Structure 1
Amino acid sequence: MKETWRWFGPNDPVSLEDIRQAGASGVVTALHEYGPGEVWPVQDIKARKALIEDAGLTWDVCESIWMSDEIKLKGSDAKTEVAAWIKTMQNLAKAGVKTICYNFMPLLDWTRTDLTYPICGQGKALRFDMIDFIIYDVHVLGRDGAAADHPADLVFEAEIRWRAMSKEDQSALENNIIAGLPGSAKGFGRQDLVDGIKNFSPLSHSDLQANLASFLAEVVPVAEGLGVQLAIHPDDPPFPLFGLPRCVSTESDLAFLLEAQQSASNGLTFCTGSLGARPDNDLPAMARRFGEHIHFAHLRNVQLEDDGSFYEAAALGGSTDMIDVLDALVATEKEGVDRVIPMRPDHGHLLDFEQNQETNPGYSYIGRLKGLGELRGAIAVLQKNYDLNSAR
């Protein structure tokens, strides 16, 4: 597997030289200055690629081409937005960037309720607290019918906690949920969220799947002609939010989208943290079933709790058997011809050493370096064992 690193461009507090010193050889990035529906000029892509290469690295994955809500709402009927997305893909291919991560999450991108959750002896982590999310949905946002979308016992617990929260606590919670996390296309104000929920609420799970299939029908044939690998990212978290469906959350969801366009260009970003936030997802089995379609891997772990909450755990800790997942990924890579899966360590803990330094939530340098070190060692052992067993 090829070690890569998420980089948010020239304004990222983690520099390209820092990435080289971490031992990674590849970069995962995007032109974050452009918004959904805007075409990335080829000259700007080439300039960013040259900057990366001048630092002795390679640009291996584009994460992500922003996708407008219009595409998610209408599929290929959002003709202008789809055309702009395809044009950016073509420009990336012209510059030699041919693996593209994207997502199809309606309205909100990846979501957390707490950005500095303390873990004893491990620093601070990102957390999705189900009770806090219900507080926001039911009591702060006041969405019609919200209480009925959550288990009654959790709604009761949320009301008790909400009554003890200050206005400042409620405001901080709202900011964490809707202001936009690193890599998100945009942040929201409360009215933006209300309006967005209204737009998406008529869609069912199957409607959203149909819109994804319609989008894929437009872009996959173009990607094939360009030699581009599309790698959809799972929903994060992988369950409905604000009563809205999500359609890249389960094994059956992944099977559906791969069946919708049977092409080597139609593939997956296998994010162990996103998929691992559902206890009914068997990640090692999914990695083995979909291995040939995995074009990119996000490697992180989460600790699940009984009420649906989770927090970012150590790479080899948490609720997912990461060693078994890595074994499956190594096997699918070894079984391919000239196949190398780019991977990146994801969502590191914020350790005390970096507490007073500028960091993006989830993207501290030392926290990710710690995760990369753990993953690097595990992968090296698994690769050696695979080669020894194959030689027997």
Structure 2
Amino acid sequence: MQMTFRWYGVGNDSITLKQIRQIPGVKGVVWALHDVPVGEVWPAEKIEEVVNQTNECGLNTEVVESVNIHEDIKLGLPTRDKYIEAYKETLKNLSQFGVKVVCYNFMPVFDWFRTDLFKETEDGSTALFFDAKKVLALTPEQVVKNMEENAKDFTLPGWEPERLKDLKLVFSQYKDVSEADLLENLTYFLKEICPVAEQCGIKMAIHPDDPPFSIFGLPRIVKNKEDIARLLNAVDSPSNGLTFCSGSLGGNPNNDLVDIVKTFTDRIPFAHIRNVKHFEDGSFIESSHRVEDGSLPITEIVNTFYENGFDGYIRPDHGRHIWDEVCRPGYGLYDRALGAMYLIGAWDTNVLLKKKESVGAL
């Protein structure tokens, strides 16, 4: 297992590489070129700049999150092929600098959704919150306005302005797109992309839907174990993989996260691990990584990864906003650093127990 930490780049993140380097056990950053519009090729010189900055601080850049998918690909429009060709060129450029995993998603319109970015909790910290009742009363336009106002001075990944400037048009385009249609469009994309990814030594790792159920009538196709199996079977390639995200899949209490890890470990090159606390009405809030603070079996998830020989990348996912930190929603330094240490502690416990078993067997 290799612990990583998501970083948004110089001038685009309140956190520095020097600070990340000081978190024990963190070996690399998970990064992206956020200034390149969706659908355009990532220039090699820009990739090299980030890689050099990061490597100079003793961190690797082997995981990218995300090379976003143009909406025309998701919709299956005739224009998708030119964007797929651009995606292939980006993969080739990334491979020149040692990138091993590309996380991406196939969520329509916007990549993730919360009703509140800074919901106050009992201890005075704030966290990302999904209010199930409020969702029913919101229009997509109100959602975008709310997210923009609450984001303060930070841009939100997956909420690119170019995608949201004509929200009514984009929503109308999905009016007659079923889950079967969306899966067919994803399969078309993967059949084109995976041969190139294999040549480049890159594993494509799709991120689950967040939340893992339909909102505003939009189709969702990576919601549960059945969806994941269908997707991985649709394109038989070692480069067709899954980003396991406990927080996303865990938004639905019916998802058995441990079973999903156990079933698909060999197809998971990258994992996001975070905790959420469920409420009876279907709402949930993101908590600390500690098992007792949420509703998810975090240590059991880590144990299952270890027992199944996981050798990929993990990062602590969304954290609370604590100790008066001013930061990107969900992506502060302090709580994610605590999360990294919690996850490493759980992993190290497994390593220690294994050693004791080996000694005892002699």
TM norm structure 1:
0.85
Q: Structure 2: how far apart are the matches of 1:187 and 1:41? A: 21
Q: Partner letter of residue 71 of structure 1?
A: I
Matched residue of 2:139: which SS?
A: helix
2:188 corresponds to which residue?
214
Shift of 1:104: 0.4
Matched residue of 1:84: which SS?
A: helix
Contact 1:76 1:82 in 2 (8 A): no
**Within 5 A, what are the aligned runs for 1:278-289?**
278-289=252-263
Distance 1:20 1:189, change over 3 A: closer
Distance 1:138 1:93, change over 3 A: closer
Shift of 1:199: 0.5
Which of 340, 343, 352 is the equivalent residue of 1:384? 352
Which of 221, 226, 242 is the equivalent residue of 1:268? 242
Shift of 1:386: 3.8
Shift of 1:352: 3.1
Q: Structure 1: how far apart are the matches of 2:354 and 2:134? A: 44
Q: Which runs of 5+ in 2 are unaligned?
A: none
Matched residue of 2:82: which SS?
A: helix
Q: Partner letter of residue 211 of structure 1?
A: N
Q: Structure 1: how far apart are the matches of 2:89 and 2:171? A: 29
* Cα distance per residue 1:170-203 (max 9 Å; x no partner): 95467459x9963225047976222111001111
2:98 corresponds to which residue?
96
Q: Structure 1: how far apart are the matches of 2:112 and 2:145? A: 19
2:222 corresponds to which residue?
248
Q: Partner letter of residue 277 of structure 1?
A: G
Q: Would you say 1:197 and 2:199 are equivalent positions?
A: no
Matched residue of 2:22: which SS?
A: helix
Q: Structure 2: how far apart are the matches of 1:51 and 1:262? A: 36
Contact 1:35 1:66 in 2 (8 A): no
Q: Partner letter of residue 167 of structure 2?
A: L
Q: Partner letter of residue 15 of structure 2?
A: V
Count of matched residue pairs: 355
Which of 274, 287, 312 is the equivalent residue of 1:300? 274
Matched residue of 1:25: which SS?
A: strand
Shift of 1:43: 1.7
Using the TM superposition, name which of 378-387 and 317-326 deviates more: 378-387
* Cα distance per residue 1:134-180 (max 9 Å; x no partner): 22139958xxxxxxxxxxxxxxxxxxxxxxxxxxxx95467459x99
Q: Structure 2: how far apart are the matches of 1:256 and 1:271? A: 18
1:351 corresponds to which residue?
322
Shift of 1:333: 2.5
Distance 1:326 1:390, change over 3 A: farther
Which of 278, 288, 306 is the equivalent residue of 1:330? 306
Q: Structure 1: how far apart are the matches of 2:112 and 2:290? A: 22
Root-mean-square deviation (Å):
2.3
Q: Structure 1: how far apart are the matches of 2:288 and 2:349? A: 19
Q: Structure 2: how far apart are the matches of 1:138 and 1:298? A: 27
Q: Structure 1: how far apart are the matches of 2:147 and 2:20? A: 32
* Cα distance per residue 1:94-136 (max 9 Å; x no partner): 1211210000001111111101111112611100111222221
Distance 1:224 1:325, change over 3 A: same
TM norm structure 2:
0.92
Matched residue of 1:5: which SS?
A: strand
**Within 5 A, what are the aligned runs for 1:107-186?**
107-121=109-123, 123-137=125-139, 172=146, 175=149, 182-184=156-158, 186=160
1:52 corresponds to which residue?
54
Q: Structure 2: how far apart are the matches of 1:74 and 1:211? A: 5
Shift of 1:308: 1.9
Contact 1:111 1:236 in 2 (8 A): yes
Matched residue of 1:22: which SS?
A: coil
**Identity rate, percent:** 38
Contact 2:154 2:328 in 1 (8 A): no
Q: Would you say 1:79 and 2:68 are equivalent positions?
A: no
Q: Would you say 1:315 and 2:289 are equivalent positions?
A: yes
Matched residue of 2:308: which SS?
A: helix
Contact 1:65 1:100 in 2 (8 A): yes
Distance 1:365 1:299, change over 3 A: same
Q: Partner letter of residue 370 of structure 1?
A: L
1:372 corresponds to which residue?
340
Q: Which runs of 5+ in 1 are unaligned?
A: 142-169, 335-339
Q: Structure 1: how far apart are the matches of 2:168 and 2:115? A: 18
2:8 corresponds to which residue?
8
**Within 5 A, what are the aligned runs for 1:21-36?**
21-23=22-24, 24-36=26-38
Q: Structure 1: how far apart are the matches of 2:145 and 2:257? A: 36
Distance 1:139 1:295, change over 3 A: closer
Shift of 1:46: 1.3
Shift of 1:322: 0.8
